[in-house]
Every structure is written in C-alpha cells, then in structure tokens.
C-alpha cells in the first residue's frame, strides 16, 4: 500500500494472507481509487490465492518464505494465465518441473494433459519420433501408427526439460512446430495442427549457447517469451529448515530435526540444491536411531563442510568459484558412490554422458 500511495499507481506484493481457510500465499494487487478531481479516495485490494505454494509443509506444493522465493511466485502467477511461452532457468535441482506443473495447474489448460519431454540423451531420430509420432512402416520396427507427445498434449502443456540438450539438427524442426503450431508424424506427408502451451527449462546458459552457435537464436526468442529465474538454495538459505521439515513431514516418519542438525544444513552450500536436500533428509531418516535427528545423524554432506568451504574461500580471495565447488563435490560424492557413475548420474539428475564430461573436467576417476 505504501508504494501505491507514494506513486499513485497500482502495486503488487506476494505474501502470506490469513483467510477463512487459514494462511495461504496471495498475490495482492493494490489499486488506488481517485475521484473526478484526482483526490485519492482509497484503495482497491485484489487477492489472487496461489494454491501451488505454502509457507508450511504441504503435499504437492512449493514451500518457502524467503524474498527470492516470493519473487519467483510472483512471476509464476503472472505467467500462469497467459499462453506466452515460458523459459525456466537456474541450477540443476532447483525444482523446474514443479514450477512447470504450477504454471499448468494455475492456467486455463489445467484440465488438459501435462506432458514432459526429457531432452537429455535423446538422439535426433528418437526425439523426432517421440515428439511427432510415426506412421506404420516409417522405419524398421514401426508396425503400427504411434501417437507422439505433441498430440498427447493436445489442449494442455508441453514441458521440454533441459531444452539446451536438443541437437541443432532438431532445433529447426522445433522452431517450425512452435511458430506454425503444425507438425508431421515421421513417415507422413500430412501436417497436423497442434494446440499446447509451451514451457521449457534448462540449467545451461542458453544465451551463451546462442553466441557460440550451439543453440539457434530464433528458437531461443521463441521459447523465452517470459523467462523465470529459479533461485538456488544458496540464495534461499532461510528456506532450508522449512524445506527440510517439509520433506520430513512428507515421509510420514514421526521425527523432527534438532537445532544443531538444522544449523549444519543451513551452513552447507548445496550444489545439488533442493534435490540434494531431499536426498540428505531421506538418508538422515534412516540413520537416526531416535525420534530426533541430530547433526551426527546427517550423512557426511560429501565432506564439503563449512570449514572446507572457508579454506577454499581463503585461497580464492574469499570467493569460492562454482567450478571449484563442483570439483570438490564431484571428488567426494564419486567416492561415496564407489565409482558407480550410472547411479551417481541418476542421483544428481543428469545424464551419464554429462556426468562423464564433468568427471573428466574435474579429473575424477578413470574417465
């Protein structure tokens, strides 16, 4: 209200509002009302309840209280009721699929399908047949017609996860699909009309990939109609205890965290973000012998303690580079997984190919 009063213009804020149903996140729009002479008469308050978020443990919802979290909620809510293409960007493990589901469930397409396309590790041919489907006899083994994911998403939302991994040769076909909303199944000469809302996600710097020629510029601007940055857990330190409690509550285990465990979690940098936090909570539940989870019940956090971070910081002018942090993390976690790269890749949420590349860069293992 203060901003609206000072500027004489409408202003909005996301915060927890108490309603007849209890506390819930709301996007509150404050609009000043003036009389014919320009005199301020009062304010019109419009509440838009954000059903996809909560400030307490809640199944199927994003949880948090930090300013970075609320800024993200504001953007999600603004984009939800539009058909504009949305690009979600941020580090691995920050919850891009959950945000994409929130965009879908809060839109006018909520009653229609939500279809996820995992772009990582897909070859040009496989991606095309999965997306567009194929006709009987289109290739060896195509014994029947198969509906593609574009058709499966009819009227709903199509979510391209890790869109930066799509081969250049396929990008032009995607551009044609996104621009014309038409496509042809593999082996067919007849075009079909598509109807879907486009949401894409990537942990890669797509703008940099455009500059290096790895990603088409025209495709980038087609998918990045409304970019939303998903903050890392390091940018949401005040949310760590709440998110940990959320995962604990969802496990149905009647346990709680001791303050020394929460302090240890809060001081950890979480290179794997929310996905890594969930993994740590799951392990702590199994390791704890009592109903209280102490700091000693937490896994080793891959030996990247706050002391190790401080030591690394002092050798880099009080700043730990992300490359150095990732290198330390990979060295430790590779040992804890006993060199099983397939399981490690799955736990980190990356393809085996991507993990091999990162391990080689970090000088880890026999890669």
Reading the block at residue 136, the tokens are 């009987």
pLDDT of residue 320: 56
pLDDT of residue 192: 93
pLDDT of residue 316: 47
pLDDT of residue 338: 63
Q: How far is CA 322 from the centre of its chain?
A: 19
pLDDT of residue 342: 73
Nearest alpha carbon to residue 122 among 92, 166, 170: 166
pLDDT of residue 54: 94
Residue-wise pLDDT for 273-283, tens only, equals: 999 999 999 99
**Non-local CB neighbours of 3 within 8 Å, separated by 6+ positions:** 11, 30
Q: Which domains, and CATH codes, for the chain?
A: 2-54 (3.30.450.20), 81-229 (3.40.50.300), 233-362 (1.10.8.60)
Q: Which residues pair with 34 in a beta bridge?
A: 40
If you average pLDDT over every residue of the chain, what do you get?
Answer: 86
For the beta sheet containing 157-161, the strands, ordered from the edge strand earlier in sequence to the opposite edge, are: 114-118, 157-161, 197-202, 86-89, 226-229
pLDDT of residue 120: 86
Q: Please give, one letter per residue, the 3-state secondary structure of the chain.
A: CHHHHHHCCCEEEEEEEEECCEEEEEEEEEEEEECCCCCEEEEEEEEEECCCEECCCCCCCEECCCHHHHHHHHHHHHHHCCCCCEEEECCCCCCHHHHHHHHHHCCCCCCCCEEEEECCCCCHHHHHHHHHEECCCCCCCCCCCEECHHHHCCCCEEEEECHHHCCHHHHHHHHHHHHHCEECCECCCCCEECCCEEEEEECCCHHHHHHCCCCCHHHHHHHCCEEEECCCHHHHHHHHHHHHHHHHHHCCCCCEECHHHHHHHHCCCCCCHHHHHHHHHHHHHHHCCCCEECHHHCCCHHHCCHHHHHHHHHCCCCCCCHHHHHHHHHHHHHHHCCCCHHHHHHHHCCCHHHHHHHHHHHCCCCC
Stretches where the chain sits below pLDDT 50 are 303-317
């Amino acid at each position: 209200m203060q901003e609206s009063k000072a500027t004489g213009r409408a202003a909005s804020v996301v915060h927890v509002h108490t309603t007849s149903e209890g506390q819930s996140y709301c996007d509150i729009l404050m609009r000043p009302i003036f009389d014919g002479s320009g005199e301020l008469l009062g304010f019109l308050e419009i509440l838009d309840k954000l059903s996809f978020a909560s400030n307490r443990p809640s199944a199927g919802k994003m949880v948090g209280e930090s300013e970075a979290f609320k800024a993200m909620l504001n953007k999600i809510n603004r984009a939800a009721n539009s058909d504009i293409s949305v690009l979600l960007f941020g580090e691995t493990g920050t919850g891009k699929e959950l945000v994409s589901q929130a965009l879908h469930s809060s839109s006018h397409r909520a009653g229609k399908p939500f279809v996820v396309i995992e772009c990582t590790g897909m070859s040009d041919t496989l991606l095309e047949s999965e997306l567009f489907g194929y006709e009987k006899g289109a290739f060896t083994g195509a014994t029947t017609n198969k509906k593609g994911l574009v058709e499966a998403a009819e009227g709903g939302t199509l979510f391209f996860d890790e869109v930066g991994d799509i081969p250049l040769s396929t990008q032009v076909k995607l551009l044609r699909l996104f621009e014309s909303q038409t496509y042809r199944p593999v082996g067919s000469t007849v075009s079909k009309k598509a109807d879907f809302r486009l949401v894409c996600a990537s942990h890669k710097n797509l703008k940099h990939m455009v500059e290096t020629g790895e990603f088409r510029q025209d495709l980038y601007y087609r998918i990045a109609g409304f970019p939303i940055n998903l903050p890392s857990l390091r940018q949401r330190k005040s949310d760590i205890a709440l998110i940990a409690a959320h995962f604990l509550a969802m496990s149905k285990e009647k346990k709680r965290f001791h303050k020394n465990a929460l302090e240890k979690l809060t001081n950890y940098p979480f290179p794997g973000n929310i996905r890594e936090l969930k993994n740590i909570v799951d392990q702590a539940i199994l390791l704890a012998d009592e109903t209280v989870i102490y700091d000693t019940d937490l896994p080793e956090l891959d030996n990247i303690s706050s002391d190790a971070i401080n030591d690394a910081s002092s050798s880099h002018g009080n700043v730990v580079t992300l490359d150095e942090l990732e290198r330390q993390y990979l060295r430790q976690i590779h040992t804890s997984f006993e060199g099983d790269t397939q399981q490690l890749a799955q736990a980190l949420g990356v393809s085996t190919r991507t993990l091999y590349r990162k391990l080689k860069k970090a000088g880890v293992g026999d890669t």
